[in-house]
Structure formats: C-alpha cells, structure tokens
Structure 1
Amino acid sequence: MKKLMELMAEELASAFEKAGYDPEYGKVTVSNRPDLCEYQCNGAMAGAKAYKKAPFMIADDVVAFLKDSNIFSVAEVVKPGFINLRVKEEFLAEYLCKMAADPKYSVNTAEQPKTIIIDYGGPNVAKPLHVGHLRSAIIGESIKRIGRFVGHKVIGDVHLGDWGLQMGLIITELKHRKPELVYFDDSFEGEYPEEAPFTISELEEIYPCASGKSKVDEEYRNEALEATHQLQQGKRGYMALWNHIMQVSVTDLKRNYNNLNVSFDLWKKESDAQPYIPDMVQQMKDQGFAYEDQGALVVDVKEESDTKEIPPCMLLKSDGASLYTTTDLATIVERVKLFDPDEILYVVDKRQELHFIQVFRCARKTGLVKPETELSFLGFGTMNGKDGKPFKTRDGGVMRLENLIADIDEEMFHKIVENRSVKDQDAKETAEIVGLSAIKYGDLSNQATKDYVFDIDRFTSFEGNTGPYILYTIVRIKSILNRYKEEGGNLDAGEILPAVNASQKNLMLELTKFGSTIENAFEEKAPHKICAYIYEVSNAFNSFYHETKILSEEDQAQKESFLKLLGLTKDILETSIDLLGFSAPDRM
C-alpha cells in the first residue's frame, strides 16, 4: 500500500512534468506552519536556478495542473514560490478506509527479507539483573519486534557471560565454604547430584563476596584464576558445578526478563563459542594476520583514515587465555555457520564502541564474514538519576532490576487506587501493566544513543509524554467502543466518512503517518520515533474527543464513522505499543 506522502509526491511530480519541469522537484513535506497549510512543496524554489526563472512563476505553472486534483482541496502559491497544500477530506477518508482494511495498516513487507541476529541482554550468570541491563533488553526487544513487523527474520540472542573469571571466583568461594562437596573430590567417579548445592539467593551472595576477596587477597585471586583455567580445560567436578550455576541462574534470568516482557530466541553463552576458537586462531596465524606482540597474539586493525589510535585486536593473552574479543569473534564464526545472517546487530553500552570497532574490523579483515554481511553497533547512553549520575539506590549501590520494577509498580498501584477507577482486586495487575509502560516508554522515548534521566515521578504521570498517558488514551477509546457495544451498537457497521471538524481531520492525518513511521523507525533502529508518533496521535485523539460528541451524535452514519475512526486509532496505538514491548489494560 502506498503512503499518503508518496501519492501526493506522485501528483506533484506529474504536475511539474506537465508544466515542463523535472518531476524530481515534486517532493512533498509536512508543513512547518500547520496554521497555513497541511503540506508543502518547495520544488519551485529548488528549480529556480536550473530554469533561470522566478520561483513563484514555476510554482504558478505547476499549480495550474493541480486544479482538478483528486488529492488536494487547496494548492496555492505563496511568494517567493512555496506551494501550500491541503488534502481533500473525501480522499483522506477513502485512504483511511484502505488503511483499516490492510492487516499492517499501510506498513509494507520488506521485498528482500533479511536474516538479522540481534545481540542484546548480555547479562553475566550468577549475578542479578540490575538497572544497567535495562536499556539493552528494552531497546533490543523493540528493534526485534519492529524488524519482524516489517517482514525480516529477526533472531534475538541473550549472549550470556558464563565463561570468565566470575565462574572461577564462585567455584573457589564454594570450595572454601563447603570443601566436603563431592565436586572437589578428584577421586570421585560417580554421578554428581542433580540438585544444585545453592539457591539463587546464595549464589547472588557468593559472587560479590568472592569478588571482594579477590581484590585484596592475591593468593585467593590466583586460586580463582586457576579454577577458571581448570573449568575451561573441562575439569569434571567444575563442569558439574558450572552446569548447576547455569541452571539456577538462567531460570532466574528468564523470570526477570519475562517480567520485562522481553524474550530471546537463543540463550547462547560465551562458552558455546569456545570450540570455534582454536581453528579460528590457527587460521588467522596461517593467513598471516595474527602475530605475537610482547607474548600476546594480536591482529592489526588500524586504517589510514583513522583520526584516533585504534589498538590491535588481541586474540590471546601471553598466557594463552582468550579474551572478550576472542569470544566475540568466535561467536561471529558460530553465527555465520548456524544462521548465515545478513546482519548482526549488537545493542550494547556505547562505552564499548572501541571494542566493537576492533572486533568488526578483525572479522572483516580475516574473512570471518562475507563482504556484504553487515556488522552493526547500536551503542546506548547511560540511564541516570535526577543528579545526572548513573542511576543508584538511595545508599549508593546499583539497583536490582526487580527492585526498580517493584518500585514503579507500587507507585502506579497508589495512583490507580487514588483514581478509584479500578476495583482493588484488579488494581495490582493493572499497576503492573501500566508500570511496565512507564519503564519502557520512559526509556524508549529517548534517542538510544543519548544519556537520559530516569525520573519515576514523571514517568508514572498520567499527563504529558509518558507511557501511562498513552495507555490512558487507549483505555478511553476502549471504554467508548465498549459502551456503544453494550448499548447494542454494531462496531462493524459503517465506514470512515470525511472529517466534520479540524480536530478530526488532524487525527486522520496523523494516522496516515503510521506506515512511514514504522518503516523509518526500523531503518534507523530508532524506537523513539514510534514513541514520538503515538504521543502525537494520542494528543490528536484527545483533542478530537473533547471537541466532538461521539456517542450522542444523532446521525447514525456519522456516529458509525466516528466509531470506525476510533477503532482504527486504537488498533494503530495498540500495534505501536506492542512494537515497543508493552500492552494496555482494559481499565485504568
């Protein structure tokens, strides 16, 4: 289905051509002066130099061919040569009827669908999710959903950190606390217990304790490094403990991600990439890319155009141990082998940009990916508190994600109960739905690459550019539609008719932008554009609602038209928030 802007541009291009000018000048933009017109064309201004003619003369020639337009009710020239445009109410109504009948409301399915892997989440096992994990999960989930909606095959991978020093620290601390455990008995040859020798709560206490010790006790740290090495060499008892750590951690991670309405297709781990490392490293040596530098194995990745120093990409440390770069490169090898993706997108903290520049360049230089395979980095900014510093708990610690969600839910619960709009037994469930919108919209409404202030008071408000305001708008529409249905009305009857007032036409024009907004949001990996769009739609709807008698309209055909328009507005808003990763309750 063609976008409204495309149809308008075709009409303008045709008029320019008929008037004897290059049709390329017939581009249309949304007016920056909505009090004067809805759209405008500045092509006459651009063509003045080429045709050695005053812009208003060119514009006059073009407008002469728009007098019988099916699309425009007004096409007038404003000096020095702007063409101001207004859309016919009849044409707009017909366009919205077609949108309503389109399963994707004018979003076109990609002609050449890609296979895209999104690497988002990235938690370390044995550690609780904290607010630092929020942005990757929320942004990655939204981009995954948008990509699928426009027709691509998008695969989400959590990419767990499970193979580093934290494993050696946990094993070492367990050994100190419970040396009698069978996992530490080298002579043991039987089956290890099925049940883990710790709970998730104990595990989450063990790691920071061990980490703290390793920073002040060099002997303890060396013991942990040795335990890490033995695990990576496949020591039987340590592998059994590792399996317990993984099982307990992943179960808890899935529960927490589920509370965020975030899901992954793959629960791949750093350890999954380990088998690919030896051959990959050997290949880089054989091809002459990898060389020794002060005992470490590195690949040069600097380029002549670099304006800052890009250090070599280190594959192996002097003791032969692998690093994050090694694991990330081996993960690319694994992904290419298993999925042959057209693009791999990493949604990670922007402070890791240098790391990914090194990894991407190394992967390309050494032929780990095809030349046409895209390796993309979406670096997000920091979530800060009101003091402008990274978000912390009141005592200065890093806040656990589940505690943040609980705080938001509690705030929403109090506001909903104060409103007395939902029965007490439903208020808790409603608060969780609205609370999630507050968190996700609060994050996603900011451009991903920028830092932002996480302000609970503002994000949970029912007014302004917030998730709860968007949901309140959807719930208001649902309430009107339900009331009409309860009164015996048929929501399938009738069709959208031409607008009867300015606020209705404004809402209709906003709805036509859905397709281009979604396609553009995917193209630019920019969920904030969807947030900005639904805020405009919500404002337009609420203006229309306050200025128009909907259910008390006496003309039945007009009433049915209003309700059809409400239905389309609801569908577009609900589709949009689903792409952002949250939903709306029935009441608030």
Structure 2
Amino acid sequence: MKKILDRITEEMKGAFTAAGYDATYGKVTLSNRPDLCEYQCNGAMAAAKDYKKKPIDIANGVVEHLKDSEIFEEVSAVMPGFINLKIGSGFLADYMNGMRTGEKLGMEPAEHPETVIVDYGGANVAKPLHVGHLRAAVIGEAIKRMGRFVGHKVIGDVHLGDWGLQMGLIIEELKERQPELCYFDEGYTGEYPEEPPFTISELEEIYPAASAKSKVDEAFKERAQEATFRLQSGYAPYRAIWNHIMSVSLKDLKKNYSNLNVEFDLWKGESDAQPYIPAMIDDLVEKGLAYESQGALVVDIAEETDTKELPPCIIRKSDGAALYATSDLATIVEREQDFHPDHYIYVVDKRQDLHFTQVFRVAKKAGIVAPERKMDFVGFGTMNGKDGKPFKTREGGVMRLENLIADISEAAYNRIMENRTISPEEARETAKIVGLAALKYGDLSNQATKDYVFDIERFTSFEGNTGPYILYTIARINSILKKYEAVCGTPKDPVILPPEAEPEKTLMLALSRFSEVMEAGFEELAPHKICAYIYELSNALNHFYHETKIIAEEDKEKQAGYIGLVTLTRSVLTTCIGLLGFEAPERM
C-alpha cells in the first residue's frame, strides 16, 4: 500500500504531464496553511521560469486536468500560482480501510532491505548503570526497533567497556583485600572456583575505591597497570578473575537494561576486538597510512573539503597501548567479517563527534569498509537538571538508573492516585508502565542532539506533550470499545465510512501519514518525529471524541464506522509506542 503522499504526488504529476509540463513539477507537500487546504503543490511557480508563462496560468491549466480526480474533493489555483488540495472523503475512507486490513497498517516493506548494526549502550562492566547511560539506551533501542519495522535486519550491540586499566585496578584492589585467594598464589595449579569471590554490590564498591586510590598512590597505579598487562597477555589467574567480573556484571546489566525495556542481540565488548588489532595495525602500516609521530602511530584523516583542522587519528600510543579508536576500528573489522553490514549507526554522546569522524574516515581510507558504506553517528546531548547542569542526585552525585526509574514510577503512582479510580495495588503496577513511558517519551520527544531538562513533574503529567498523555489517549479508546461491546457486542470487521465532519476527517488525515512518518523517522534516525506524530494523533483522537457521539449514535452503520476508526487509531498508537520502547496499560 503506497504512502498517501506518493498517491497524491502521482496524481499531480499526471496532471502536469497532461497539461504539457514536465512531471517533476508535480511535487506535493503537506500544507503549511491547514486552514486553507490539506496539501499543496508549488510546481507552477518553478515551471513558470522554464516555460516562460505566468505561474497562475500554469496552475489553472493543471487544475483543469484534476477536476474529475477521485483523490481530491477540491483543487484550486490561487495567486500567484499555488495549487491547493483537499482530499476526497471516499478516497480517504478507502485508505483507512486499507490500513485497517493491511499488514503493518498498510506500510510497504523496505525496497532495499539492509543489514544494520546499531551500537548503543556502552556501559562499563563492574559499574552500575547511571543516568549518563539513559540516552544511549533509549535512543538506540528506538532506532533499532524503527529499523526493523520498516523492513531492515537490525542488530543491536551493547559494546561493553570490558578491557583496559579498570580491570587491572579491580584485580589489584581485590589482591590487597583478599591476598589469600588462589588467583594470587603463584604456585597454585588447580582449577579456579566457579563461584566469584565478590557480589555485584562488592564489585561496584571495589572499582571506585581502586580508582580513587590510583590517583594518590603511584605505586598502586603501577601495579594495576602491570595487572592489566598480564590480563591482556593471557595470564590464566587474572583471566579467571576477569571472567568472574564479566559474569557478575552482565547478570546485573541485563537486569537493569531489561527494566528499561532495552534488549541487545550482541553482548560484545572491547575485549572481543582485541584479537583483530595486531593484523589491522600491520595492514595500516603496510598500506602507508599509519606513520610514527612523536613516538605514536597515527593516520591522517584530513580532507580538502574540511572547514576546520582535524587532527590525525592515534592508533597506538608511544608506550605501545591501544586506544578507543584502535578498539573501535578493530570492532568494525570483526563486524565486517561476521555480518557484512550495509549500515553502521553509533548512538553515543555528541562530545565524541571528532572520535567517530576519525574512526569512520580511517575505516574507509584503509578499505576496512567500502567507501560508500553508510556510517552514521547519532550524537546526543545531555540530560540536565532544572539548574541547567547535568542531572545529579540531591547530594550532588551521579544517580543510578534504577533509582531514577523508581523515582519517576513513584511520581506516576502519585498522579494516578489523585484520580482514585483504581486500587493502590493496580496503581502500583500501572505506575511502572506509566513511569517508564514518561521517562522514555520525555527523552525521545527531544531532538537527540539537543540537551534537555529532566522535569519529573512535567514528564508525569497527564496533559500536554507527555508519555502519560499518549497512554491516557489509548486508555480512553479502550474504554470506548468496552462500552461499545457492552451494548452492541464485539464489533465484526467495522468498515470505516467517509468522514462527514471536520474532527473525523482531521483524525483520518493524521492516520494516513503513518507510513510516511515511519519511513522518515528511521531514514533521519529521528525518534522525536514519531513522538511529534503520536502527540498530533492523540490530539486529533481526543478532538474527535469530544465532538462526536460515538456510543449514543443511533445509526448503527455509522457507529460501527466510528468504532473502526478509533480501533485503527489505537493500533497506530500502540505500534508507535512499541517502537519507542514502552507499552500502555489497559486503563489509567
């Protein structure tokens, strides 16, 4: 089922051709004056120059060929040469019924399906998830789901920070605390224990303590660096500790990501890329791309079209250590080998812009990926408190993500209990769903690159552009359908009829743009466009509800048509919130 804009544009192009003009002038857009028309075409303005005619004469000629169109109920040419379009009620009803009965609400699958890697998450093992991890997880999950919905094979990778000095710090701190452990007995030759020598709570306390100690105790830091080197060289006792760290951390990370309704296909980390690094560096050197500069190995990435100076990408430091760029490039080598992706998407803090510019350019320059490979960096802004600074706890520390989720669920619970329409027990369960919706929608409704203020009062409001408002709209539809079933029984394939009034048509016009929004949302990697769409759709539904007697309608065919329309609206809303990564309760 074609997008409605494509159907309209085809009709307009045919009219331009029939009037003797090139079809390319028949481009149609959504009207920027909805008080005058629903869609518009400005092609006559552009054609006037090429055909040396007045725009209004061209517009009038095109309009003449649309007077019998089944798509439009009104077409008019207005000075100086705009063509205003209003969609026909019969065509619109047919389109609604096509959506109602079609797979994926009538959306056509991607013409050229791609394999897409979405790299998001980026948590470090041995550390709890905190508010700084929220945006990568929420935005990345939405982009992954959006890509799958439009027809691509999308693979989500958490890309853990599980390698480097942090591991050596943990090992050395553990050695100081529990020197009797077999991992630190040079003469031990037995099997290493299956049970880890620490809990997740202990592990999360060990790392910050070790990190703080390394800043004031140079000898401790040097021992940690040596432990890191031994681990990375394959020293069996330290590998055993590392396996314990990974096991304990992954279990906790999976639980916390699950609480956010975020799932990964791959739980890969920096450690997985390490085997690919030596050969990759050798290849860069052999190709003459990598050279020594002040003892480090670097690759130039500057291009003639750059508007500012870009520094070389450091592949190996002067002490022989690899960097994040090295690991990220090696990860691309691994992904090319395992998945042959058509498209890479990295969802990371926007302050990493230079880093990914360097990585992408080196990858293409070195032939790790093809020059035409799509590589996108979705850099996001920070989540700030009301003071405009990065969000902190009342004590000034970084808030754990599980505490943030608990706080917003509590706020949602208090909102729900203000109405006192459900029991406290049901309100608690509902609050978990509403709280997550408030949190995710509050984040995703902002353009990713922009910073935003985390305002728990505004995010949990049942009014305005919020997640709870969207859920409340769905709950309202559920209530309408229950009332209808109580009076008339379960609706049997209710056919949507042509709209007779403005609220009904406005709702249909909003619904008709579903496929267009889904495609554009993924193409532009912009979940905020879906948020804007479902807010508009919710407003249209609520306007229709207030202006239309649905349950009291005596014409049963017309009433069934209304039921079909609100049912379709619910399907579109629930599909969209599913793509954004949250769900709706049955009632609120």
Please state which band the TM-score falls in when normalised by the shorter chain: over 0.9
For 1:65 and 1:300, how far apart are their aligned partners in 2?
59
What is the one-letter code of the residue matched to 1:41?
C
> Aligned residue for 2:231?
231
Corresponding residue number in structure 2 for 1:218: 218
Partner Cα distance (2:96, 2:185) in 1 = 72
| Distance across 2 between alignment mates of 1:412 and 1:179 | 48
Deviations 1:282-323 (A, max 9, x none): 222222222222222222222222232222211222221111
Alignment correspondent of 1:99? 99
1:114/1:152 contact within 8 Å kept: yes
Three-state SS of the structure 2 residue aligned to 1:116 is: strand
Q: Which residue of 1 aligns with 2:543?
A: 543
Instruction: Show structure 1 runs of 4+ deviating over 4 A.
Output: none
Pairing of 1:470-549 with structure 2 (within 5 A): 470-549=470-549
Secondary structure, counterpart of 1:198 in structure 2 = coil
SS class of match (1:487) = helix
Residue type of the alignment partner of 1:188: Y
What amino acid is aligned across from residue 271 of structure 1 in structure 2? S
Name the residue aligned to 1:149: 149
How far off its partner does 1:507 sit? 0.2
Distance 2:317 2:493 in 1: 71
Separation (CA, whole Å) in 1 of partners of 2:162 and 2:294: 28
In structure 2, how many angstroms separate the alpha carbons of the residues matched to 1:509 and 1:360? 41
Letter of the structure 1 residue corresponding to residue 543 of structure 2 = S
Partner SS, residue 61 of structure 1: helix
Q: Which amino acid in the other structure matches residue 131 of structure 1? A: V
Distance 1:212 1:250 in 2: 24
Instruction: Report how many aligned residue pairs link the two structures.
Output: 588
Q: Secondary structure at the match of 1:291?
A: strand
- In 2, the alpha carbon distance for the partners of 1:50 and 1:468 equals 52
* Per-residue CA distance 1:388-420 (angstroms, 9 max, x = gap): 111111111111111100000000011112211
Give the letter aligned to residue 365 of structure 2: K
Specify the alignment match of 1:298 in structure 2. 298
1:390 corresponds to 2:390:
yes
Contact 1:342 1:372 in 2 (8 A): no
* In 1: Cα distance, 2:322 partner to 2:20 partner: 67
TM-score for both structures, normalised by structure 2: 0.98
Aligned equivalents of 2:565 and 2:243: distance in 1?
55
Output the CA distance in 2 between the equivalents of 1:552 and 1:228. 73
Note the C-alpha offset of 1:225: 1.0
2:180 aligned with 1:180: yes
CA offset digits 1:508-557 (Å, max 9, x no partner)? 00000000000000100001000000000000000000000001100000
Q: Which blocks of at least 5 consecutive residues in structure 1 are unaligned? A: none
Counterpart secondary structure, 2:76: strand
Amino acid of the structure 2 residue aligned with 1:438: A
Corresponding position of 2:51: 51
Percent identity, aligned pairs only?
Answer: 66
Q: Conserved in 2, the CA contact under 8 Å of 1:114 and 1:341?
A: yes
Distance in 2 (CA, whole Å) between partners of 1:274 and 1:581 is 33
Q: Is the 8 A contact 1:165 1:228 kept in 2?
A: yes
Gaps of 5+ in 2: none
Write out aligned runs for 1:114-263 (5 A).
Answer: 114-263=114-263
Deviations along 1:490-512, one digit per CA (max 9) or x if unpaired, are 32243000112101100000000
Q: For residues 425-444 of structure 1, what are the structure 2 equivalents within 5 Å? A: 425-444=425-444
Q: Please give the per-residue CA displacement for 1:421-458, whole angstroms capped at 9, x wherever unaligned.
A: 22222111110101111011001101111111111111
Residue aligned with 2:351, SS:
helix
* TM-fit CA distance, 1:247: 0.5
Alignment-derived partner of residue 469 in structure 1: 469
Which residue pairs with 2:315 in the alignment?
315
Shift of 1:488: 4.2
Cα offsets for 1:184-220 (capped at 9, x unmatched): 1111111111111111111111111111111111111
Distance (Å, rounded) in 2 between the aligned partners of 1:301 and 1:35 = 51
2:561 equivalent in structure 1: 561
Q: In 2, Cα distance between the equivalents of 1:421 and 1:556?
A: 31
CA distance in 2, matches of 1:463, 1:200: 40
Q: Give the partner amino acid of 1:523.
A: E
Q: How far did 1:129 drift?
A: 0.5
One-letter amino acid of the counterpart of residue 235, structure 1: Y
> Contact (CA 8 Å) 1:106, 1:514: kept in 2 or not?
no
- How far apart, CA to CA, are the structure 1 residues paired with 2:129 and 2:325? 23
Amino acid at match of 2:445: S
Secondary structure of 2:551's match?
A: coil
Residues 325-376 of structure 1 deviation map (CA, whole Å, 9 limit, x = unaligned): 1111111111011111111211101101111111111111111112332222
Q: In 2, distance between residues paired with 1:129 and 1:360?
A: 28
Are 1:13 and 2:10 counterparts?
no
Contact 1:60 1:77 in 2 (8 A): yes
Instruction: Quote the offset at 1:250 in angstroms.
Output: 0.5
- 2: distance between equivalents of 1:494 and 1:519? 28
Contact 1:128–1:204, Cα closer than 8 Å, also in 2 = yes
> Is the counterpart of residue 415 in structure 1 residue 415 in structure 2?
yes
Distance 2:164 2:327 in 1: 10
Tell me which amino acid in the other structure corresponds to 1:424.
P
Alpha carbons 1:119, 1:158 under 8 Å: kept: yes
**One-letter code aligned to 2:329:** L
What is the root-mean-square deviation in Å for CA atoms of aligned residues? 1.1
1:337 & 1:304 partners in 2: Cα distance? 31
- Deviations 1:257-289, CA, capped at 9 Å, x for gaps: 000000000000111111111111122222222
CA distance in 2, matches of 1:573, 1:229: 52
Moved more, 91-100 or 491-500: 491-500
CA–CA separation in structure 2 for the residues paired with 1:67 and 1:290: 66
1:107 and 1:519 in contact (8 A); partners too:
no
The whole-number CA distance in structure 2 between the counterparts of 1:464 and 1:545 is 17
Q: Which residue of 2 aligns with 1:451?
A: 451
| Distance in 2 between residues matched to 1:284 and 1:27, nearest whole Å | 47
The residue correspondences of 1:26-37 to structure 2 (distance < 5 A) are: 26-37=26-37
Cα distance change on mapping 1:500 and 1:489 into 2, 3 Å: farther
